[in-house]
Amino acid sequence: MSNGGGEDNEVLCEMNVTPLVDVMLVLLVMFIVTASAVTTSVHVNLPKTDSVAPPDAKQPIVLSVDQDGRYFLGKEQVSLDELKKRLTRIHQETPGKTAQLQADKSVPYGRVGKVMAALQSSGIQKIAVLSRP
């Protein structure tokens, strides 16, 4: 049973790659969408540390805002204007000094913002905002 001299009994062994390409494109699109979603959202989980300042470190300026909205420089209560003057003077005397800011959780953000603005206007650049571990 021959049809014109050629053999028709050959088996074609070709793989159809169209479904594979479709699946890979879908996976690529899903990867791109999830990667962009992960990088645009901000999730912050701060670590707990038991760090100790090096012995040669300068003592920082400690600023506090209590629950009544009063400002303290160290343990001394000061007005906002007085705080600005003292911070400027401290920065002129020791330019590399750091500041630690701590505020009661019930204090409005505006009060904390005023202290941060006073720090910035005095020239102090290194500011640590403290929270309870």
47: confidence class by pLDDT, cuts 50, 70, 90: low
8-46 pLDDT per residue, tens: 677 777 878 888 899 999 999 988 877 766 554 444 444
Torsional class of 86: left (φ above 0), alpha (ψ -120 to 50), beta (otherwise): alpha
Tell me the HSE value of 30 on the side-chain side, using a 13 A CA sphere. 6
Q: At residue 111, what is the residue type?
A: R
CATH of domain 61-129: 3.30.420.270
- For residues 10-39, one letter each, b for 16 or more C-beta atoms within 10 angstroms of the residue's C-beta and e for the rest, the string is eeeeeeeeeeeeeeeeeeeeeeeeeeeeee
Note the pLDDT of residue 41. 42
pTM of full prediction above 0.85: no
Handedness of CA 77, 78, 79, 84 (dihedral sign): negative
Residue 49 has pLDDT above 90, yes or no: no
56-112 pLDDT per residue, tens: 456 888 888 888 888 988 888 899 999 999 999 999 998 888 888 888 888 888 888
74 Cβ partners below 8 Å, 6+ apart?
A: 61, 62
Contact 73, 83 (CB under 8 A): yes
